[in-house]
Structure formats: structure tokens, C-alpha cells
């Protein structure tokens, strides 16, 4: 009878595969595979955009609702680390009800820096919920322009 219902035998396999994929993505993106379920705090990783200009590497992290004083930015051994905590509280009162929601979540993000990044002169600024980190390139890592000579 089992051969007539082939998907029953694969149900456990699919669950196991999903668990392994969750763990893989968690390791890759720096989010633990198992998040706290006791309601105290949760873990999330902010979205980041990374770009390169001629003179610097620029990292922009979306941190809506996070106070700049709650963010710690550090650079060590070629890795840029962002960590902190987001606290949010919403309250709504009307005649028939009173609703209050709270969110507390820690975040952590590690970004490996490319060779040539000047770790000593990193600048971080925050505006409108976006943290911008500028990592200048060392002079020897900046592109050198070479003039093309025309021969006749």
C-alpha cells in the first residue's frame, strides 16, 4: 500500500531537507538557526547594500526605528561588524479597547572587507533609519590611471 502513496515516505525527508536549508541560510547570513521562542528577545539581521567607489567601500544598513546610540560598529581583522538592539513600542487606545505591542530584537551582522580597506579611518553616519559606513581604500589599493600615448 505504501507504493501507491509515494509522498508519504518522502514527508520526513522533505522536513529534514527544510531544516538543513534553514541551518545553511542561518550560517551564511549570520542568523542563528534556532531563534529564542520564550518571547524575551528575537534576533534579526538588517538588510545591507555594499558598493564600491574609486576611493572607498560603502555599506548602507537599513535600521528603521533604531536609535544611533543603540548601534555598535567595529572593524577587526578585516571584518566589519554591526550589532545592537531595536526597541519598539506601539500603543493604541480607543473607546472599546487598549492595545499595546512591544518588540525587542538584537541584531548582528559581520561583513568581510576586501583587501585594501583602510580599517583605521572608517566613518559611520546615521540619517532617516539608514546607517552609512564609509571605509576608505588605502592609497596603494586605489586604481591608478595610465595615460595612453598615441604613436604615429
Distance in angstroms (rounded) separating the CA atoms of residues 10 and 92: 47
Q: Which residue has the cell 524575551?
A: 40
Residue 33 three-state SS: coil
At 29, the pLDDT band (50, 70, 90 cuts) reads: low
* pLDDT per position as a tens digit, 108-140: 889 998 888 899 999 999 998 899 999 999 888
Burial 61-72 (b: 16+ CB within 10 A, else e): bebeebeeeebe
Residue 30 three-state SS: coil
* pLDDT per position as a tens digit, 64-85: 888 888 899 999 888 999 998 8
Amino acid at each position: 500500500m505504501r507504493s501507491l502513496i509515494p509522498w508519504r515516505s518522502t514527508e520526513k525527508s522533505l522536513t529534514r531537507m527544510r531544516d538543513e536549508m534553514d541551518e545553511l541560510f542561518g550560517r551564511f547570513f549570520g542568523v542563528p538557526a534556532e531563534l529564542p521562542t520564550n518571547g524575551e528577545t528575537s534576533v534579526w539581521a538588517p538588510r545591507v547594500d555594499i558598493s564600491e567607489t574609486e576611493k572607498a567601500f560603502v555599506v548602507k544598513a537599513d535600521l528603521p526605528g533604531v536609535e544611533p546610540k543603540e548601534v555598535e560598529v567595529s572593524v577587526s581583522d578585516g571584518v566589519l561588524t554591526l550589532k545592537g538592539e531595536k526597541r519598539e513600542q506601539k500603543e493604541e487606545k480607543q473607546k472599546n479597547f487598549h492595545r499595546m505591542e512591544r518588540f525587542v530584537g538584537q541584531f548582528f551582522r559581520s561583513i568581510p572587507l576586501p583587501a585594501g580597506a583602510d580599517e583605521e579611518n572608517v566613518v559611520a553616519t546615521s540619517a532617516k533609519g539608514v546607517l552609512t559606513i564609509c571605509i576608505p581604500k588605502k592609497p596603494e589599493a586605489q586604481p591608478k590611471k595610465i595615460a595612453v600615448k598615441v604613436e604615429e
